[in-house]
Amino acid sequence: MTRLSVNINKIATVRNARGGNMPDVQKAAQDCEIFGAEGITVHPRPDERHIRYSDVRLLKPLVKTEFNIEGNPIPSFVDLVTEVIPHQVTLVPDAEDAITSNAGWDTIRNRDFLTEMCKEFKSKGIRTSIFIDPDPRMAEGAAACGADRVELYTAGYAADYPSGPERAIASYLEAAKAAKECGLGLNAGHDLSLENLEYFIRTIPWTDEVSIGHAIICDALYMGLEKTIQAYLEKIRIF
């Protein structure tokens, strides 16, 4: 069954905009779990404009489900992850000035580096996932790097979904099949929402985890956090 991991970056963004500790990021993570989330995701960036490195350290003993830290494996990030030891690390090739993640790894061109990173994190017992575009070659490349999973970058699927779900998901299905054939686990994330999530899971039911943040926080403004998380769980608990 697909697990829902809630990305709490946007909660930290609201806190940082005003200063102080409201909303309380630690309490929000705990509440997400109480409301049914099966994982908590954070994506600390070097400028700490939302989740801070200190948040990650404070969250580790509080998260009772699964803790996923994602980000570009620059030295400071590597040091943080190997200190905290989350359940999963997701390697994302985002530039320091990127507003949000906007592309997956070229796992063929970056094979040596990614192999080194997978080895480093897996030596600490951390499941390692590589963020990729929906290209079977990138899934195969991730397997060659020693990854445990790939995460499909689903922004393209979300953008194309309104004009035709079948066409929108076609490349994702092929990449997901390639990942499965390589023995990789499968995650997905970015712009998944109440509108497009169920179709994705019905089409690719072996998806292990979806990581969703922005849409959940937007919906929670109207529905409340508890009802929103329950609504997302209903979209993935369809089998």
Structure tokens at 108: 């063929």
Structure tokens at 132: 């990729």
List pLDDT tens digits, range 39-76.
999 999 989 999 999 999 999 999 999 999 999 999 99
Residue type at 115 in one-letter notation: T
| Of 169, 149, 172, 107, the residue nearest 3 (C-alpha) | 149
**pTM for the structure as a whole:** 0.95
Structure tokens at 127: 């499941």
Active-site amino acid positions: 43, 70, 190
List pLDDT tens digits, range 153-211.
999 999 999 999 999 999 999 999 999 999 999 999 999 999 999 999 999 999 999 99
